[in-house]
Amino acid sequence: MKSNNENIKIDGIDKKILRFLMSDARKPVLEIARKIGISGAAIHQRLRKLEASGLIAGSKFIINPKVLGYTTMAYIGIYLDKAMSNPLAVKELEKIPEVLECHYTTGNWSILIKVLCRDNEHLMHVLNRDIQQIEGVSRTETFISLDQQIDRQITI
């Protein structure tokens, strides 16, 4: 594994390790080591280097929101009255638990957010009570996701 200032270089073994962990971050290191044919210590050492390089940013459990009753996913384009309103708007959006992602964008909207709500009524409530009340928000445009058809990370 060789690193330069711009991009990290990973070899075939690093890629195999990453693929195993991307499919199941709870997979035991010794099981990965056996399948790849190197020692568990070598896996740990490579993982430490990948973490130090910034390529790996921890691991997480994935919650199925439908089990908790959250069935409405929507993307909302937010129009701001002026670009200077962005920092304040983002601070206010951070306070809304239904907002999962927030992106500063080019194009018509100033901000694009992803929200998760229990149902359409809950979405309407979040829009009217929370998002559209933020100072600087002039209007919103909402797109409800009917089904997420692709969900993946970058290919290694």
The reply to whether 44 and 71 lie within a common domain is: no
Report if residue 156 sits inside a domain: no
Within this chain, do residues 90 and 134 fall inside the same structural domain, yes or no? yes
Other CB atoms closer than 10 Å to residue 120's CB: what's the count? 12
Give the domain CATH number at 130: 3.30.70.920
Does 152 fall in a domain?
no
Do 125 and 82 belong together in one domain?
yes
The DSSP code sequence of 130-141 is IITTSTTEEEEE
Q: How many CB atoms lie within 10 A of CB 115?
A: 26
- Euclidean distance between CA atoms 86 and 83, whole angstroms: 6
| Same domain flag for 75 and 108 | yes
- Inter-CA distances, 85 with 38, 80, 88, 96, 109, Å: 53, 7, 6, 17, 13
Per residue in 105-118, pLDDT tens? 999 999 999 999 99
Domain assignment of residue 126, yes or no: yes
Q: pLDDT, tens digit, for every residue of 38-66?
A: 999 999 999 999 999 999 988 888 899 99
Query: Reduced to 3 states, what is the DSSP secondary structure of residue 66?
Result: helix
**CATH number for position 6:** 1.10.10.10
Residues 19 and 85 in one domain: no
Q: Is residue 111 part of a domain?
A: yes
As a whole number of angstroms, the distance between CA 99 and CA 104 comes to 14
* Same-domain pairing of 39 and 73: no
pLDDT value of residue 39? 95
Claim: this prediction has a pTM higher than 0.95: no
> Among 123, 131, 112, 128, which Cα is nearest to 70's?
123
- Out of 16, 31, 53, a domain closes at 53
Q: Is residue 155 part of a domain?
A: no
Residue 130: which domain range?
65-145
Across the range 82-87, mean pLDDT stands at 92
Does 41 lie in the same domain as 90?
A: no
Closest alpha carbon to 129 in 86, 81, 97 = 97
- On whether residue 137 sits in a domain, the answer given is yes
Domain count, the chain: 2
Buried b (16+ CB within 10 A) or exposed e, 42-70: ebeebbebbeeeebbeeeeeeeeeeeeeb
If you average pLDDT over every residue of the chain, what do you get? 93
33, 99: one domain: no
